[in-house]
Structure 1
Amino acid sequence: MQLPSPLPLHDALQDTELCHAWRQLLEAAPAYQALLDPDWWRSASDHLGQASPYFLVCRRDGASLRWLVLIQRRSAFGMRWWQTAHHNHLPVAAMLRHPRVDPAQAGNEVAQALRADGALFLRCVRTPPGPASESLQRAVSPPPAYIFPTGDFDTLFAGRSRNLRKQIRRREKRLAEQANVRFEVIDHPDHPTLGLETFYQLEASGWKQDGASAIAFHEPLRNFYRQAAEDFAARGQFRLFALLADDTPIAMEYTLLCNDRRLYTLKCAYDEQWSKVSPGQLLLCQVWRWCCENNLREYNQVTSASWLEPWDPVVSPMSSGYIFAEGLRGRLACWSYDALYGLRNRLRPRAAATSGYVAAPLWLEHATPLSQYLLLW
């Protein structure tokens, strides 16, 4: 078997056949399609990967792909490993496996590719549900994503708590008494009055302005979100939602609409001067209604922010884990990590509840109990 080697993502994205096979794999194993799309990662590679470049490792099966993982190099204490590419602006790890490929075999292939590259292990962070993570054995999961199902909106809204329904109606009435209210859907980032620059300005207002954490203050982030918006808009898959009071936006959402009829919210912003009417909550209600009226399958927030909990959303779990390379060095790395995390969790019980650490590898559902214990391949 010819072992795959990690390719610089920027170079891999120049291969049109590979990108076509990548999209075919996404269609065969749908999981967060917008955030695993080649265009999304092209924008990330161009604007966010300068300090730590992204790589792609995949195994071909003729013209199609058996599996694909997007990774970054990491090193510390004399060890070198791979980690699935992930941070706040890439909220899920790109790991895909074709459903027809045996998970244990795919895991073996990943481990062998790691060994050939000299890495000790692959750290898998925040993997969404689907063929890549279905056999991940885990003790603790990282924060999930909240999803709003679709259907008849009035029926779904009636299923929320009585207190939430009263609050939304009261705030809608209060806002209508103070201004002319309008809900807008924009499908291009360069809209003359409600485009991406307007969103950046709104997001940079309030508390984010004090901490300089908004997209507007970081040129690479501005360019990343703009390029992604332009690429998806060219396919009709970009949406900016806005709630306006007297023609002034008081809440906006940056979203991507997938061809599998799922809407993903990547960023939201609101004007704190209108906080008494909770414009973000009112906009969420309008976007959810829009999803139902347009026969979308779901409305995915890609976050588990506490302010969403009163809406009683569906929880979509995330998984984290490790794949260790073969041999003594990989075994020692596994035991060291197990011991260090075990010690930390005993000393800091609260950390154990949020670490997402897993003492078991991916795709090992057919392994023997002994190999599961030793994490050998």
Structure 2
Amino acid sequence: MFPSLLQSLPGFPVVVGITQQDPDIFPRPSTSRTLKTLDYIQTARITLQGTFDAYWQARGKNLRANMKKQRNSLAKLGLTPRLEILTQAQDMDQAVRDFGQLESTGWKNDQGTAIHRENPQGQFYTRILENFCAQGKGRVYRYWFDDVVTAMDLCIADESSLIILKTAYNEQASHGTSPAFLMHQESFQHLFEENTLSRIEFYGKVLEWHTRWTDEIRTLYHVNGYRWGFLPGLLGKA
């Protein structure tokens, strides 16, 4: 592919790079004098195979015990957790506003990176979710403690995968629990039982909390094609 691409591109390119490739979609090629690959990040997924009970029993003992303890704690406080699933385009504007409120309670607000419906990032996610929902491929999970939104996932999907774009939770209304973890327990159970998709993709860099939910980790990669075989070594010395 790269030789023909280098010949067909305008000008006289000597190297072409394709970034952030998924080996599950494009298997990582063997390297050669004119083709090199480079690790990007590790990312995680959950395969929706079998029952949720079997998946849950395969998780760590600490995670299962903590989730049970947190639900008991909420019950003692008289708080009722509830998972809501939004799939309609007309609901996405408010969903992004709610998501922005969650991010505004935490460190992202302190750094000035929180989503707001009016800022470019918020407008981008609103358009993306509205467009995907119009095709039946958008989904927002909104998690409540009674009448207070405590966690949310913004997601898109195709015929086989649910991709979690962003997660946020209310740091000021957690009551000593992990609202996002509680939400994920219920949303993942719903996806197993719904049985319409084959996997959940995180696609961000693997963090410690991802490893509590899955041990399915793979490495995304970059690939560079060079016009001449001596270029990789020459550029490496530059």
Compared CA separation, residues 203 and 113, structure 1 to 2 (3 A): farther
- Tell whether the 8 Å contact from 1:255 to 1:265 is kept in structure 2 after alignment: yes
Compared CA separation, residues 157 and 146, structure 1 to 2 (3 A): same
- Tell whether the 8 Å contact from 1:188 to 1:195 is kept in structure 2 after alignment: no
What's the secondary structure of 1:198's corresponding residue? helix
- Tell whether the 8 Å contact from 2:97 to 2:117 is kept in structure 1 after alignment: no
1:120 aligns with 14
Instruction: Output aligned runs, 1:240-279, within 5 Å.
Output: 240-259=140-159, 261-273=160-172, 274=174, 276-279=176-179
C-alpha deviation, 1:134, in angstroms: 3.1
**CA distance in structure 2 between the partners assigned to 1:298 and 1:245 by the alignment:** 27
Compared CA separation, residues 215 and 123, structure 1 to 2 (3 A): farther
What's the secondary structure of 2:40's corresponding residue? coil
The one of the two structures with greater contact order (alpha-carbon pairs below 8 A, sep at least 6) is 2
AA aligned to 1:110 is L
After superposition, the C-alpha distances for 1:330-368 in whole angstroms (9 at most, x for unaligned) are 844x3333225xxxxxxxxxxxxxxxxxxxxxxxxxxxx
TM-score normalized by the length of structure 1: 0.56
Compared CA separation, residues 253 and 189, structure 1 to 2 (3 A): farther
Instruction: Output aligned runs, 1:82-231, within 5 Å.
Output: 106-114=1-9, 116-130=10-24, 132-135=26-29, 137=31, 141-150=39-48, 151-178=50-77, 179-191=79-91, 195-216=95-116, 219-231=119-131
2:180 aligns with 280
1:338 aligns with 236
**CA distance in structure 2 between the partners assigned to 1:232 and 1:193 by the alignment:** 13
AA aligned to 1:315 is I
After superposition, the C-alpha distances for 1:77-109 in whole angstroms (9 at most, x for unaligned) are xxxxxxxxxxxxxxxxxxxxxxxxxxxxx2322
Compared CA separation, residues 120 and 215, structure 1 to 2 (3 A): farther
C-alpha deviation, 1:279, in angstroms: 0.9
**CA distance in structure 2 between the partners assigned to 1:268 and 1:146 by the alignment:** 15
C-alpha deviation, 1:197, in angstroms: 1.4
**CA distance in structure 2 between the partners assigned to 1:193 and 1:170 by the alignment:** 35
Task: Name whichever structure is richer in helix by fraction.
Answer: 1
**CA distance in structure 1 between the partners assigned to 2:112 and 2:175 by the alignment:** 20
AA aligned to 1:112 is Q
1:298 aligns with 199
Compared CA separation, residues 194 and 277, structure 1 to 2 (3 A): farther
After superposition, the C-alpha distances for 1:216-275 in whole angstroms (9 at most, x for unaligned) are 28732222211111111111111000110012110000001212x210000010011217
AA aligned to 2:136 is G
- Tell whether the 8 Å contact from 2:100 to 2:117 is kept in structure 1 after alignment: no
Q: Aligned-pair RMSD on alpha carbons?
A: 2.4
Instruction: Output aligned runs, 1:2-81, within 5 Å.
Output: none
Unpaired runs of at least 5, structure 2: none
C-alpha deviation, 1:139, in angstroms: 7.1
Task: Name whichever structure is richer in strand by fraction.
Answer: 2
C-alpha deviation, 1:189, in angstroms: 4.8
**CA distance in structure 2 between the partners assigned to 1:163 and 1:314 by the alignment:** 19
**CA distance in structure 1 between the partners assigned to 2:175 and 2:14 by the alignment:** 49
AA aligned to 1:298 is R
1:311 aligns with 213
Compared CA separation, residues 167 and 201, structure 1 to 2 (3 A): same
Bigger Cα displacement from structure 2, 122-131 vs 155-164: 122-131
AA aligned to 2:21 is T
What's the secondary structure of 2:41's corresponding residue? coil
Task: Among all aligned residue pairs of Structure 1 and Structure 2, give the percentage whose two residues are the same amino acid.
Answer: 23
TM-score normalized by the length of structure 2: 0.86
What's the secondary structure of 1:242's corresponding residue? strand
Unpaired runs of at least 5, structure 1: 1-105, 341-377
Aligned residues: 229
C-alpha deviation, 1:190, in angstroms: 3.5
C-alpha deviation, 1:176, in angstroms: 3.1
After superposition, the C-alpha distances for 1:95-124 in whole angstroms (9 at most, x for unaligned) are xxxxxxxxxxx232222234x433332223
